[in-house]
Amino acid sequence: MEAGSKNGWRMTEFKANEIIAENTSDKNAEAVSIHLKDGYFFTRPNNDELNKKLDLLLQKIEQLEKKVDKKDTEIEKLKNELNKQQAEIKKSSEKVKKEFQEKLAIKSCKKIKVLNFEYKYHDEVIPYYDLTMTLKNEYPKKIVYLSGNLFVEDQDGVKILQDFIKRKVDLPVGGEITIKKTHQLNSDLEKYLKDEEPENLKIYFEVITAEFADGTKVECGIF
C-alpha cells in the first residue's frame, strides 16, 4: 500500500487478502485489485507498471527482513558469549572462594569435632577415668598425625577435665576415629566430672599439631 500511495495510486483495503488500487493521476483513470496469497501477489486486470512497483517493494522488504535476521543472529551470538563469560566468572569466583575457605580451614585449630564422649570413673588409690571419644576430621585434607587436648566444661564454663592426645592416625576428610584410653586425674577438680549430667557438658577438641597426608601441617599454640 505504501508503494502505491507514493506513486499516485489510492490504495483501499477491500478484504483480508485483497486491496483495490486506483490511479487518478491522469485522465486515463484505472483501477485494479491486488490479491495477496502466501507471500505472493497478482493483479486483476494485469497491470505491469503496478506489478513492477509492488515487486520492487517486496524485494526491499525481503532485504530488510534479511538484515533483521542477521542482526538477531548477531545479538543471539553476543548473548551466548555474555552468558559464557558470566558462567566463567562465576566459576572462577567460586573456585577462589573455595580456595580461600580451605586456607582458613587449614589454619583453624578447631576443625576436629567431638561426635561422642563417654567416661567411667574408677575410685582407686590413684583415681582415673576410662574415656571413649569419637572425633571427626573437618579439615579439607587427610590427617596422618594428630596431637591436641580434649576439654570438658561444666555449665558454668569451668574446665573440669583436660586430656592430652597424641598419635598417628589415618583420618580422611570427613572421616571419624574412636579413641579409648585411660585418664589419670590431674587435679581434684576433675573428680567433679563423674557427678555431672552429660547434657550439661561442653566438650571440644583443640588441635596442637595436625599433619596432613600431603606433607603440610597446622600448628596451634606453638611459639
Q: How far apart are CA 74 and CA 138, in angstroms?
A: 49
Return the pLDDT at 15: 56
Query: Does residue 183 lie within any of the structural domains?
Result: yes
Query: How many residues comprise the chain?
Result: 223
Residue 134 sits in the same domain as residue 198? yes
Query: Does residue 170 lie within any of the structural domains?
Result: yes
Residue 125 sits in the same domain as residue 207? yes
pLDDT at residue 210 is higher than 70: yes
pTM for the model stands at 0.54
Residue 138 sits in the same domain as residue 41? no
pLDDT for 165-201, tens place per residue?
999 999 999 999 999 999 999 888 999 999 998 889 9
Average pLDDT over residues 38-44: 52
DSSP track, 111-163: -EEEEEEEEEEE-SSS-EEEEEEEEEE-SSS-EEEEEEEEEEE-TTS-EEEEE
Residue 131 sits in the same domain as residue 51? no
Query: Does residue 209 lie within any of the structural domains?
Result: yes
Residue 131 sits in the same domain as residue 215? yes
Q: Which residue shows C-alpha cell 599454640? A: 221
pLDDT at residue 125 is higher than 70: yes
Query: Does residue 81 lie within any of the structural domains?
Result: no
Q: How far apart are CA 9 and CA 26, in angstroms?
A: 11
> Among the three residues 45, 61, 77, which one is the final residue of a domain in this structure?
61
Count of the separate structural domains present in the chain: 2
Query: Does residue 122 lie within any of the structural domains?
Result: yes
For residues 208 and 150, is the Cβ–Cβ distance under 8 A?
no
Residue 116 sits in the same domain as residue 50? no
pLDDT for 134-143, tens place per residue?
999 999 899 9
> Among the three residues 18, 35, 61, which one is the final residue of a domain in this structure?
61
Of 50, 95, 169, 33, nearest to 205 (Cα)? Answer: 169
Q: Which residue shows C-alpha cell 561444666? A: 154
Average pLDDT over residues 55-78: 75
* Domain assignment of residue 144, given as a range: 112-219
> Among the three residues 41, 61, 81, which one is the final residue of a domain in this structure?
61
State the CATH number of the domain containing residue 170: 2.60.40
pLDDT for 93-111, tens place per residue?
676 666 555 555 566 888 9
C-alpha cell at 24: 487518478
C-alpha cell at 134: 569419637
Residue 123 sits in the same domain as residue 31? no
Residue 135 sits in the same domain as residue 55? no
Distances (CA, A) of 92 to 79, 103, 199, 214: 20, 17, 44, 24
Of 145, 164, 144, 162, nearest to 153 (Cα)? Answer: 162
Return the pLDDT at 105: 53
